[in-house]
Amino acid sequence: MIRSLLVLTLVIAAGPAARAEADDAALEARVREGAAAVQGKVVQWRRDIHQHPELGDQETRTSRLVADHLRGLGLEVRTGVGGTGVVGVLKGAKPGRTVALRADMDALPVQEPDGLPFASKAKQQYLGKDVPVMHACGHDAHTAMLMGVAEVLAGLKGELPGTVLFVFQPAEEGSSVVTPASGKTWGAARMLEEGAFKDPKPDAVFGLHVMPGALGQISYRAGATTASSDDLQILVTGKQGHGGMPWNTIDPITTSAQIILGLQTVVSRRADLTASPVVVTVGTINGGSRGNVVPETVSMAGTIRTYDDNVREKVVSGVKLAAEKIAEGAGAKADVRITKMYPPTMNDEALAARMRPVLRRAANGRVAEAPPSGATEDFSLFAQAAPGLYVFLGVTPRDQDPATAAPNHNPKFFVDESSLGVGTRTLASLAVAELSPAPDADKTQPHGQPFAPEER
């Protein structure tokens, strides 16, 4: 008792800054306790969502589960934001900033293998085709963890400064209803168009993604984190004829092969790879009806990934030029359509530096620098609307090597549920820390090496 009074006396004597620091530490401790208490619920929510996956723009059951939970916590809830999106608003009892936390809800058109007692048997329509559906990217875990964070922070409402937006987003993997060529929006873009970040506008936004990695480890990087994504469609038109007399044809198949190889010279000879990595991939090629017929057309689809806007523009123009001129040289024609999808996710450097000690405490010191990811994320759009920080959570079981574990989007992708408590604690801690930043927070230097060598 005497010791506690002595500590209290010292804190009071140290002034407002020390008292604020003590209050923040106490609130963070409450967050840790709350995350541990809700862990069992998070696991159950995750299993329920995993067993009932829904494709992008069809997440009606998932959004209803989320909205009902948020209403039960006493939050202001907006549904139908961006289609099936849900936004919950928690207003703390004290003045402060506004922070957004985002989780994506959609699954993938992937067949889940047998094994889990809560494995998916679901099927849905994907662009008009009946397909099996699975949470092969971990969005079930993201949604469950953010539901847990909402419960933790709602329980601390009386001590909480500022406002928290809980953003449950549809169609991160893309819409299952509309295509990029339609000109319509989905996911983060549509949520922003429909006011997800209006009234109130967040001062910062945080997101988290599960991935193969050391169990419970948080990894992140400042600056470019995930790649931009541009949808590539090429239609090569030649002249149909007999496969035994190709001199009477203009062969779009051989022309397409030349285009595919030529596109790689855009990467190796036209892109400045010292400035930013570049990937150009052709993922599908379709043409022809039988072996002795040269077809009239061949269609190809692919993706372009970059991490820098200037490099992105040069690569996009280079791909278009290369495809068109290679086709022209063969006497064919290439119709090239490139649709910009998502920009690169840029982690705000000052925010990342400011949150580093918070991440270390939340992950019990297990923090590492993440390499740039070749994946793409429409969290990038939220991070353009407010300073953003996007982090990764390792979910590989301890007895497996993360380097050989099945990756995201693989039907064997596996989430060790013991990691979910770390993710819940991390998101809640980030929100609490940013709601009432330290007086010198804006003076945080974003430069310099943010990771010690042993953390790499």
Q: How far apart are CA 362 and CA 92, in angstroms?
A: 22
State the catalytic residue, choosing from 21, 159, 296, 417: 417
Clarify whether residues 255 and 302 are in a common domain.
yes
Of 220, 307, 342, 390, the active-site residue reads 342
Q: In terms of Cα–Cα distance, which of 408, 316, 392, 393 is closest to 347?
A: 392
pLDDT attached to residue 363: 98
Q: How far does CA 97 lie from the centroid of its chain?
A: 24
Is pLDDT at 398 greater than 80 in this prediction? yes
Average pLDDT over residues 432-449: 60
Kindly tell me if the per-residue pLDDT of 448 is higher than 50: no
Angstrom distance (rounded) from CA 227 to CA 418: 29
Q: What is the pLDDT of residue 453?
A: 38
Please give the structure tokens belonging to residue 144: 């469950």
Q: Which of 341, 361, 390 corresponds to the end of one domain?
A: 341
Asked whether the predicted pLDDT for residue 82 surpasses 70, the reply is yes
Provide φ and ψ at 87, rounded to 5°: -125, 120
Q: Mean pLDDT across the chain, nearest whole number? A: 92
Query: What is d(CA 299, CA 286) in angstroms, rounded to the nearest whole number?
Result: 5
pLDDT for res 275: 85
E strand intervals along 212-328: 218-220, 223-227, 229-237, 241-242, 278-287, 293-294, 297-306
Reported as a pLDDT band with limits 50, 70 and 90, residue 350 is: very high
328 flagged as catalytic: no
**Residue 6 clears pLDDT 60, i.e. is over it:** no
pTM, to two decimals: 0.89
CA gap 309, 324 in Å, rounded: 23
Q: CATH number of the domain that 98 lies in?
A: 3.40.630.10
pLDDT above 50: residue 446: no
| For range 108-117, the mean pLDDT | 97
Give the C-alpha separation, 323 to 232, whole Å: 11
Q: Output the domain CATH number for residue 233.
A: 3.30.70.360
Q: At what angle do helices 309-329 and 252-265 cross, to 10 degrees?
A: 150
Would you say residue 7 lies in a domain?
A: no
Residues of the chain with pLDDT > 90, as a percent, come to: 86
Let me know if 342 is a catalytic residue. yes
DSSP string, 87-143: EEEEE-SEEEEEEEEEEE---BS-PPPS-STT----EEEETTEEEE-B--SSHHHHH
Say if 5 falls within a structural domain. no
Number of folded domains in the chain? Answer: 2
Q: Residues 6 or more apart from 240 whose CB is under 8 A from it?
A: 249, 293, 294, 295, 296
pLDDT value of position 242: 98
Better-scored residue on pLDDT, 242 or 5 = 242
Burial of 301 (0-12, 13-18, 19+ CB in 10 A): middle
How confident is residue 443, by pLDDT bands cut at 50, 70 and 90? very low
Q: Name every residue whose Cβ is closer than 8 Å to that of residue 192 and which is 6 or more positions away in sequence.
A: 82, 381, 382, 385
Q: Are residues 374 and 443 in the same domain?
A: yes
Supply the pLDDT for residue 445.
Answer: 44
In the predicted structure, residue 22 carries a pLDDT above the cut 80: no
By CB neighbour count within 10 A (0-12 exposed, 13-18 middle, 19+ buried), where does 104 fall? buried
pLDDT at 180: 86
Distances 137 to 32, 53, 271 between C-alpha atoms, Å: 26, 11, 31
Task: Pull the structure tokens for residue 26.
Answer: 């106490």
Residues 95 and 151 in one domain: yes
3 is a domain residue: no
> Is residue 147, in this structure, part of any structural domain at all?
yes
Co-location of 220 and 240 in the same domain: no
What average pLDDT does this structure show over 258-271? 95
pLDDT of 313 above 60: yes
Residues 257, 384: one domain?
Answer: no
Q: Residue 272 domain-assigned?
A: yes
pLDDT band at 159 (very low <50, low <70, confident <90, very high): very high
Percent of the chain with pLDDT over 70: 91
Domain that holds residue 77: 12-227+343-455
